[in-house]
Structure 1
Amino acid sequence: MNLLMLLIFFLVNTNSNDNCKKASKHLKKVDKHILVGDIEKVSKLIFKLNTMCNESKFLNSLADTYYAIKDFDNAYIFYLKAYENNQLLNTSFFSVSNFLKILYQKGHYHLFEEIISNPNFNVDIERSPQLKELIVKNNFAVLNLKDSVNFKPVFLNINTIYDEYFPSMPINSNVLIYTQRDLKSELKDENFYISRNIDDVWTQPIKLGPNINSEYREGSLSVSLDGKDLYFTSCNRPDGYGGCDIYISTLINETTWSKSINIGSKINSKYWDSQPSVSADGKLLFFSSNRHGGYGGSDIWASRKINNSWSEPFNLGPKINSSGDEYTPFLHYDNSSFYFSSKGKPGFGGFDLFLARMNSQFNFDSIINLGFPINTHYDESGLIVSPDGEKAYFNSNSKGNLDIYEFNLPKNIQSSTVAVVNGLLLDSINRKGVSCKISIIGLDDDWEYHLNSDNLGQFSFSIPPNSKFSITVFSKFHDFFSSNYELKQNETLKSLTILLNRLNLGNIINLNNIYYDFDDFSLAKNSLLEIQKFADYLILNSSLVVEIGGHTDNIGSKKYNYQLSDKRAKSVYNALLNYGVSPNQMTYKGYGFDKPINLDDSDEARIMNRRTEVKIVGSYGK
């Protein structure tokens, strides 16, 4: 009996050895197909080898081949079988390294720990920087799995069997614009779609027009704060500088976008330039690029808009960028909270979402991983945040395809709340919208926005809550308009309608933001902004002739008030000259207390009467 068992064992073992020799021989042939790039042939041949041999050495070699053709699921199966068979004995560094990479990417963090703690793990980590970095990442994941955050993502009804990703949202509307990719099409075509939120339901998405979606591939996008400008990526267009470039299109009316324009060689290069994100004030453009001068992979870069032109881009530095890839930048409307995705920083595998707090000098506080389970071993990217800082949208491939989700941000990773001001400029006679340049200035803080109203007279901007601000309007066909506003406590949405008077001879314009101390003709420092804006208006309307009128309250003698008001008017006149206004456009006169606008005997009335008015008295050169 013992002899029979020994014979059976010998025959089985001999047959097993023969099978393993055959399997190894076939695997070498398969590897030759890999060398010539015939992956389709490899895929057909390799599956026949899956059950031919259970020797650990062969299993590791088979797993290595699966790894080479990026079939990581099968690679994982056979690395695991080999590990269970021999506990890393006689396992090559190449196989161990690949196995650890797969374990980390699949979120098997504890098995990863078990392997590097195995007595047979004899890899010199110090001589392998990549493996050392991977161990740091896995340690981070293990430690931070415990600190899970409250996370209840909502799967949006706009998602389909295709990929949906890179959401963007104008600040003043419940509109979502995003990318959809058809993986089944030959070119894996990418196009932009738009959906509106009506009663908490996203409507059936429709394609953006042909001026944006083209025969080429369109990828990520960013909509300006007012929804008027759309920055997006398109690849391999004839007017491009490299593989993928950044383009801009402007909203002509509610449904039509202008023909897209390449934003130029200052931003775009011969490399991959993609994933634009424009700041709330329109003065900063962030994007991802694999151009030279970075820290490895694709880095996040930024450019400033100076005199209506984009500056040479600069790298955001090693606090943001890593040796891996950094994608999908998004600067919140608070101009401080900077969100992005990274594959290179310690995380949970794949792309993780991060937050950095940024100041005006582009210095970043410590970088925060948004945590588990917002981040997983899948790819999370494309995060955008609502104006109140509480709600976020992002894309993830946790269900296979890329899909867009919505969730409430935990407190510690929220942005600061901003207030949204929606304005409307109307002609005072026909009540039609006026398209022109607008300046918004913070009266308590040192900030300024420049923007344009659209053809309907609409404009939007974001500011800190409880702000005091001025709005100045520059129109060639209407009076100068400047007025101060204040947001009430906790007011985060304000609507303004501004009626603009048409330019007519005899019109009187009150310069609201020009201040004098009592019994003084010197201009207060905070008056110069108003005067500079009015100077810009007069230069824009260079044919206008105006009279600057100075007015006082009723304190003091008539003669003295005439003299004081004349000096005040002259102060404004001289300041306007300094800002470049032609002397041919201006005269000045002091009226004393001859033309009060409030006859009450109160401090408030006296403040109102101490004013500077401008009267349109003619048209220069006509």
Structure 2
Amino acid sequence: MRSTSLLLFIVIILSSCSTEKKAIKAFKLGKYQNAIDLFKKTGNSGKANFFIAESYRLSNRPKEAEQFYAKAGGRGFDADSIKFYYAQALKANGKYDEARQQLESLVAATSNTPLKDRASAEINGIGYLAKLAESPSYYKVKNLEAINTPASEYSPVYLNSELYFTSSRGDGKIYEAEGKPFTDLYKVTTKGANVEMSTLARLPEGINDNVRNEGCVTFSPDGKIMIFAKGNSEKKKGGGADVDLYISRFRNDVWSEPIPININTQFKNESDGDAKNFSWDSTPAFSPDGRTLYFASNRKGGYGGTDLYSAQMDSRGRFTRVRNLGPEINTSGNEMFPYVAEDAKLYFASDVHPGYGGLDLFVVKRANGKTQIKNLGQPMNSNSDDFAMFLFKPDRGFFASNRDGGKGDDDIYTFINEDPDLRVVNYYLQGITYTPGKDGKLQILPNTKVNLLDGKGDVMQDYVTGNDGKFLFRVYENEDYNLVGESSGYLVKRQGYTTRGKSVDPSTLKELLTNITLDTMIVLEKIELDKSFVLENIYYDFNKSNIRSDAAKELDKLVQLLLDNPEIKIELGSHTDSIDDEAYNRQLSQRRAESAVSYMIQHGIAAERLQAKGYGESKPIARNTNPDGTDNPEGRQKNRRTEFKILEVGAVTKPVEGDEQFEEDRYFRE
């Protein structure tokens, strides 16, 4: 009898060990639901509770993780991390006081500085909620019941009276990370928030497939380009890590076969030595003008978790200049689901910026060149995940949430903003690129690239003009910019522009939406050898050659011109009027030219690109005296000038095979 009991005990132990091994393997493969089911069979140990809690967290179910984090632990586990995630689970369940207690205990005990900083930020965030509650909210929220099911519906996008969204409502293969069917893209005809369910349709095969998740779609303003996320195939390791962005174009009334876009990230899998994509690139959103793509990624070089990035789409439809949106927006946690509204405000979801729990919705406002981030408050946010905002009018739109009271998992909600003072003012800067004609009159210069730079010198937008030479940029009130124009065979032209003093008071407007267009122009000079360009306002004290502060400002512009046009070499020429004798004037002008050249060398221009030349009084452009012999001050002033002329234009180096630019161009040629 005793031997039978012992044998049974051994069988139970071996069975438990086998189950635990399977559970750990499932966890490592990212099959979190399988891991949960298996670990629940191994008993109620601290180890089992830890892996169950982690599986719930990593499959975005923090509420369910709470009870398991409370009992997680044991040798080999980081007690500080467990306490932190336990606090986050408490917060997700609306238990803010209990979460604060856990966080304060963690801050007092841990020696892990990054974790202590995150815990302190969470404590401050909980305190922020009380202040947020004091602010009035004009939002009204309603579940879009007609479209939601017990499955997951999220990422709503409205285009041409159709609502596109992502859903796991299918009955196909199960995605083992979450224990739910794979998600697909759907569309349905709507009039605002009034859904015509008889038109519900799954997007065609090719866009959707049965072995991967598709989701988070965005469209160019004309509806002809679709970019969406696709990933989570069973053929790759790492569970939900392999998510890429795909592009499809609408041609001949059908969507083309989607292909990965060139900004997806390639990492190296050190375990097998193969180059594979192990980054998560998802939640794309086009800007209103269709020239910028925003997305979330956990690529290397970010601030932690998933960060928000932008990429520019050029005139050939390719994406370049991928840029992290920076530490003001991105945190050590997860920022995702970006969306840029018509008024250029950026909306996004974050689980670290001060919020109610899980993902909260935030808006980024620009004011005087700086960003301000604001939580949208309740009822837009809850202690659950609130994300994927989309406005189909300035005061109403959609978002997704898995809050209590929904029809299932993630649901789509509609909202309206009834703020009586809501006024949307959009500022645009339009202009035309010109060049002087042979007769001196300005003529339109087509096919010119124009960049809009912010006050820090970063490129905000770019534009390639057509035959009409016109360009258009979105700008903001009370900001300083630089416009940079480039065209083959012409000097790169840089000029400032400010919107200071050009804004309107929204309280004086009656309409909900007002567009204000400002005007400018850019004149590009053709590159011609020996053609002279007069530098305005380069003055010297009488009989002196040192650089005055007012002259330095003008020489700084020439320095910038040479930096913008690295292929040219110039002569800097100084001229005088006819006062004093010719030899003295030539010597004085030579000293002045050399002084200006020395200044430019000190400010980063290579000496071999500069040549100083003093012309004295030998090349007047106006009379120094009047016909009657009297003095002509205006003419003398014109003659006391500084000019530059182009002596040499260097050859432009063409990309060769193996060069990074060549390879990028070949990607798009193919």
In the superposition, the TM-score normalised over structure 2's length comes to 0.49
CA distance in 2, matches of 1:490, 1:384: 21
Pairwise CA distance, 1:417? 5.6
Q: Kindly indicate whether the alpha-carbon contact (under 8 Å) linking 2:359 and 2:384 is maintained by their aligned counterparts in 1.
A: yes
Pairwise CA distance, 1:184? 5.7
Q: CA RMSD in A?
A: 4.9
Of 340, 359, 364, the residue aligned with 1:356 is 364
- 2:194 equivalent in structure 1: 201
1:246–1:142 CA distance, 2 compared to 1 (3 A): same
- Give structure 2 stretches of 5+ with no counterpart: 1-12, 27-34, 73-78, 176-180, 268-276, 428-445, 451-459, 467-471, 476-508, 525-670
Matched, 1:344 2:352: yes
Of 323, 334, 352, the residue aligned with 1:314 is 323
1:285–1:239 CA distance, 2 compared to 1 (3 A): farther
Q: Kindly indicate whether the alpha-carbon contact (under 8 Å) linking 1:267 and 1:313 is maintained by their aligned counterparts in 2.
A: no
SS at match of 2:123: helix
CA distance in 2, matches of 1:316, 1:296: 13
CA distance in 2, matches of 1:358, 1:525: 23
1:238–1:121 CA distance, 2 compared to 1 (3 A): closer
- 2:251 equivalent in structure 1: 252
SS at match of 1:366: strand
CA distance in 2, matches of 1:267, 1:111: 40
CA distance in 2, matches of 1:372, 1:125: 35
User: Cα deviations across residues 192-223 of structure 1 (Å, max 9, x unaligned)?
Assistant: 11111248621122122334223443211111
Pairwise CA distance, 1:287? 0.9
SS at match of 1:133: helix
Of 373, 378, 398, the residue aligned with 1:372 is 378
1:143–1:311 CA distance, 2 compared to 1 (3 A): same
1:75–1:29 CA distance, 2 compared to 1 (3 A): farther
Pairwise CA distance, 1:326? 0.8
Pairwise CA distance, 1:228? 2.3
CA distance in 1, matches of 2:192, 2:119: 50
SS at match of 1:104: helix
- 1:111 equivalent in structure 2: 98
Please tell me the residue identity of whatever aligns with 1:227.
G
CA distance in 2, matches of 1:413, 1:35: 56
CA distance in 2, matches of 1:300, 1:317: 8
Q: Kindly indicate whether the alpha-carbon contact (under 8 Å) linking 2:295 and 2:308 is maintained by their aligned counterparts in 1.
A: yes
- Give structure 1 stretches of 5+ with no counterpart: 1-24, 50-57, 83-91, 420-436, 453-460, 465-487, 495-523, 530-622
Q: Kindly indicate whether the alpha-carbon contact (under 8 Å) linking 1:231 and 1:247 is maintained by their aligned counterparts in 2.
A: yes
- 1:297 equivalent in structure 2: 305
Q: Kindly indicate whether the alpha-carbon contact (under 8 Å) linking 1:379 and 1:396 is maintained by their aligned counterparts in 2.
A: yes
CA distance in 2, matches of 1:279, 1:94: 38
- 1:137 equivalent in structure 2: 125
CA distance in 1, matches of 2:304, 2:421: 27
SS at match of 1:135: helix
- 2:231 equivalent in structure 1: 235
CA distance in 1, matches of 2:67, 2:341: 43
1:340–1:200 CA distance, 2 compared to 1 (3 A): closer
Pairwise CA distance, 1:166? 0.8
- 1:426 equivalent in structure 2: none
CA distance in 1, matches of 2:311, 2:150: 36
CA distance in 2, matches of 1:449, 1:310: 14
SS at match of 1:152: strand
User: Cα deviations across residues 242-280 of structure 1 (Å, max 9, x unaligned)?
Assistant: 922222222336x63233333225778732211111112
Single out whichever of 134-143 and 122-131 deviates more from structure 2.
Answer: 122-131
Q: Kindly indicate whether the alpha-carbon contact (under 8 Å) linking 2:423 and 2:512 is maintained by their aligned counterparts in 1.
A: no
Please tell me the residue identity of whatever aligns with 1:224.
S
Pairwise CA distance, 1:344? 2.1
User: Cα deviations across residues 565-621 of structure 1 (Å, max 9, x unaligned)?
Assistant: xxxxxxxxxxxxxxxxxxxxxxxxxxxxxxxxxxxxxxxxxxxxxxxxxxxxxxxxx
1:229–1:451 CA distance, 2 compared to 1 (3 A): farther
Pairwise CA distance, 1:354? 0.8
- 2:153 equivalent in structure 1: 164
Pairwise CA distance, 1:161? 2.3
SS at match of 2:410: strand
- 2:568 equivalent in structure 1: none
SS at match of 2:164: strand
CA distance in 2, matches of 1:314, 1:447: 12
Pairwise CA distance, 1:67? 3.0
In the superposition, the TM-score normalised over structure 1's length comes to 0.53
Please tell me the residue identity of whatever aligns with 1:158.
I
Q: Kindly indicate whether the alpha-carbon contact (under 8 Å) linking 1:333 and 1:462 is maintained by their aligned counterparts in 2.
A: no
- 2:400 equivalent in structure 1: 395
Single out whichever of 177-186 and 318-327 deviates more from structure 2.
Answer: 177-186
Q: Kindly indicate whether the alpha-carbon contact (under 8 Å) linking 1:348 and 1:375 is maintained by their aligned counterparts in 2.
A: yes
CA distance in 1, matches of 2:127, 2:383: 14
- 2:333 equivalent in structure 1: 324
CA distance in 2, matches of 1:304, 1:148: 37
Q: Kindly indicate whether the alpha-carbon contact (under 8 Å) linking 1:323 and 1:344 is maintained by their aligned counterparts in 2.
A: yes
Pairwise CA distance, 1:66? 5.1
